[in-house]
A and B are shown apart, each in its own frame.
Chain A
């Protein structure tokens, strides 16, 4: 069964450093997403990406965040200058044209120290 692959599974970074979280969505999916889940809390939408541009973003997705699809297979989330409160599980997801088929990756646990 096709899956969404995320790397790394766990990343520890110093406050103020830049991090890049990587995702390989399902190849024939058209929409890509990043969500985050602070420990013990609900999953929150960050951004969606379609046709090589951001289609929607939440208020969480401020100027320190950016997304990119650099090579047609990878989909990345960059956090420019990490803060302690960025510590969370970050999930990548992708979906096809129809609304049902969301597939989540297994997540990257980001710890900012």
Chain B
């Protein structure tokens, strides 16, 4: 079974600063994918970034980067130059690439960006 742990229920960051949201995962599978989603107050789930377990480089998408440390089973999301619109819930999720296709989500981190 897969498990995702997000230990930060809430985070504050100043506008224009960088912030790291923590995510650790547990799986016995060797092949898996890690995802981050943003959920604003309106409720929709917005895909941010993906990292495959065999990807040698950390994934980046604009201001988002994923700090993937396979040996530590961590997949932290780094948001650079925070903006007020980044205030939202952030969920880390995982799926294994063989067999089960469903995503397993963490409990989320609420990020608040302060002016």
Contacts and interface: CB of A to CB of B under 8 A. Distances in A.
- A, B assembled together: yes
A105 B108 CA distance: 19
A95 to B, nearest CB: 7
B102 A33 contact: yes
Given A41-B107, A43-B91, A56 B33 contact: no
A30 to B, nearest CB: 10
B72 interface: no
Contacts of B45: 43, 91, 93, 104, 107
Interface of A is mostly: strand
A65 interface: no
How many chain B residues sit at the interface, stated as a range, is 20 to 34
Contact of A55 (B35, B47, B95, B101): B101
A107 B93 CA distance: 18
A93 to B, nearest CB: 8
B44 A42 contact: no
Interface of A: 31, 33, 35, 41-45, 48, 55-56, 58, 89, 91, 93, 95, 99-100, 102-107, 109
